[in-house]
């Protein structure tokens, strides 16, 4: 589904990604783990085209998308939910969803606002509320729902559980499972290990812009030393 090969990226002259490689199979859920500043968000931005990778290959659905414009990549079926959510604060919930809407794809039932309200019941009650007047958790749900409106084949979720209350995190776990049931492949960046373990099958640990470890989530769960080495603060 997605195969990233020796990806390099810079901010100005700072060499941030120094050869990131990983791959995800269709229908799978992969979590990128790593400390603050490890390069998770930069990886996602390079995938969606907001950061132009300096070298490396990104094969998505058999197509090389490295260096393409963001809208081309999004239209190819790659969805992106940024860490800062970036809700359109002047627009209502329904309007935010409208901005994300893209045509349906073959072999996948299209996401509609009604279907999304089934996953995110909180949103259903605030259709005409401006995005600027929603709580952080509500904004996070809206950001995910907005991206799903584009009927992505694969969705990049950058720290979806960040700053959420435990109840909301629980809802988020269900939401991600619902997405996977709907046929969406999931790649998420996380610091919250418990959340990651609850939703992902595979994990990749990124450290200073390089891949430090890759394997099954279950192995990570079993190996405290591994977690200690790469994830402890």
Partner 1 sequence: MSMALPPCRRTKRCGSCAPPEPVSALLVQLLSGLSGASSLFLVAAGLTVIFGVTRVVNFSHGSLTMLGAYLGWSILTRLPRGPEYFVLGIVLTALATAGIGALIEMLLLRRIYRAPELLQLLFTFGIVLVVQDAAQFLWGPNDLPLPRAPWLRSFVTIAGERVPFYDLVLIGIGPLVLAALWLLFTRTRWGTLVRAATQDREMVAALGVDQRRLFTTVFALGAGLAGMGGALALPDASANLQIDLNIITDAFVVVVVGGLGSLPGAFLASLLIGVLQSFGIVLFPQATLVLVFVIMAAVLVVRPNGLLGRAPAVARGAGQGFAAIRPAVPLLLRLGAAALVLAVLAPLAVGPFVLSVMTEMLIAMLFAASLHFMMGPGGMASFGHAAWFGIGAYAAAFAVKGLALGMGAGLLLAPLLAGVAAALFGWFVVRLSGVYLAMLTLAFAQIVWAAMFQAVEITGGDNGVLGVWPAPWAADRRVFYWLVLALCVGATLLLRRVLYAPFGYALRASRDSELRAEAIGLDTTLLRLAAFTLAGAAAGLAGGLAAFSKGSVFPGFISISRSVDGLLMVLLGGVQSMAGPVVGAVAYTGLFDLLLLATDQWRAMLGLAIIVLVLVFPQGIAGSIHRLWLRGREA
DSSP 70-109: HHHHHHTTEEEE-TT----TTSBHHHHHHHH-----TTSP
**Could you tell which of ligand ATP, Mg ion, partner 1, none binds residue 70, using a CB distance below 5 to 8 A set by kind?**
partner 1
C-alpha–C-alpha distance, residues 145 and 139, integer Å? 10
**Could you tell which of partner 1, Mg ion, ligand ATP, none binds residue 147, using a CB distance below 5 to 8 A set by kind?**
partner 1
Q: Is 146 helix (H, G, I), strand (E, B) or coil?
A: helix
Q: Are 209 and 37 in contact (CB under 8 A)?
A: no
Residue that the structure tokens 């990226």 belong to: 9
Is residue 181 a contact point for partner 1 (CB under 8 A)? no
Minimum distance from residue 177 beta carbon to partner 1 (Å): 23
Nearer to ligand ATP, 52 or 127 (CB): 52
Minimum distance from residue 71 beta carbon to partner 1 (Å): 5
Q: Are 92 and 146 in contact (CB under 8 A)?
A: no
Minimum distance from residue 124 beta carbon to ligand ATP (Å): 30
Alpha-carbon Rg for the chain, nearest whole angstrom, is 17
Is residue 99 a contact point for partner 1 (CB under 8 A)? yes
C-alpha–C-alpha distance, residues 100 and 149, integer Å? 5
Nearer to ligand ATP, 95 or 207 (CB): 207
The phi and psi torsions of 84 (rounded to 5 degrees) equal -85, 5
Nearer to partner 1, 100 or 160 (CB): 100
> Strand 2-11 and strand 14-24: pairing?
antiparallel
Number of residues that bind partner 1 (CB under 8 A): 25
What does the per-residue mask of binding to ligand ATP show for 59-98, with x meaning CB under 6 A?
A: ------------------------x---------------
Residues found near partner 1 in the complex (CB under 8 A) = 48-50, 69-71, 74-75, 80, 82, 86, 88-91, 95-96, 98-102, 146-147, 150
User: Where along the sequence are the contacts to ligand ATP (CB under 6 A)?
Assistant: 11, 14, 16, 34, 36-42, 83, 191
């Amino acid at each position: 589904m997605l195969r990233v090969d020796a990806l390099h990226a810079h901010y100005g002259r700072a060499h941030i990604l120094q050869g990131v490689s990983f791959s995800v199979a269709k229908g799978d859920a992969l979590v990128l783990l790593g400390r603050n500043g490890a390069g998770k968000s930069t990886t996602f931005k390079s995938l969606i085209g907001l950061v132009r990778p300096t070298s490396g290959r990104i094969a998505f659905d058999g197509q090389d998308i490295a260096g393409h414009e963001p809208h081309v990549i999004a239209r190819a079926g790659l969805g992106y939910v940024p860490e800062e959510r970036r809700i359109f604060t002047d627009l209502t919930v329904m309007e935010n969803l409208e901005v994300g809407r893209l045509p349906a794809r073959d072999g996948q039932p299209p996401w509609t606002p009604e279907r999304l309200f089934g996953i995110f019941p909180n949103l259903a009650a605030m259709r005409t509320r401006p995005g600027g007047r929603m709580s952080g958790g509500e904004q996070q749900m809206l950001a995910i729902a907005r991206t799903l409106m584009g009927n992505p084949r694969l969705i990049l979720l950058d720290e979806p559980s960040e700053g959420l209350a435990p109840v909301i995190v629980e809802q988020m776990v269900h939401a991600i499972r619902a997405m996977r049931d709907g046929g969406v492949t999931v790649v998420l960046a996380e610091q919250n290990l418990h959340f990651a373990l609850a939703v992902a099958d595979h994990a990749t640990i990124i450290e200073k812009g390089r891949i430090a470890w890759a394997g099954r989530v279950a192995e990570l769960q079993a190996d405290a030393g591994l977690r200690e080495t790469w994830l402890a603060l």
